[in-house]
Structure 1
């Protein structure tokens, strides 16, 4: 199985010790594995950690949750937007969505395997 790596924002990290301590938790929250690499992108304000993923989600446990998707205007709009939104988090769209703030924010229901 092949893998890929991305950077995920982690808030400000002040030292390598801190990054190594919490990087694994952040990566796990995003269903990935912390590589140990990190960097500051805005001094004193924001850092990123490098997270590795398998190209195909594995595991027998599933969990579905809503993910913020910006405004969605219709079912047709959701069919175009939600699959990519869920994939960007490592999940798959289950066909459900709803508006949570009229004209501003909707959510897509994403299923994650781990």
Structure 2
């Protein structure tokens, strides 16, 4: 069964299928890449909780930066956010994002948290 949450004509923010959660790309607000990354990760936290998961259950992350010069600054925020011992498979590349003000977009795939 496929479950979709926050769906409109274009996309769903959360799609769950066979115990796997797929989040649409998340961006954040703020002036710099660190602020945008922090806000983006907060949005990811909220969506994961709503979907029945958390950052310890992230399987894969795809990070798009508007400028690879921001790689180290984004990584400093990411490294503080990801729980020790739970780093997902991750890719990071440079891409033109939907709006000029955007500096980072993150796409997450996660597993549902096991129920006890």
TM-score scaled by length of structure 2: 0.32
TM-score scaled by length of structure 1: 0.33
Q: Which has the higher contact order (CA 8 A, sep 6+)?
A: 2
Larger Rg: 1
More strand by share: 1
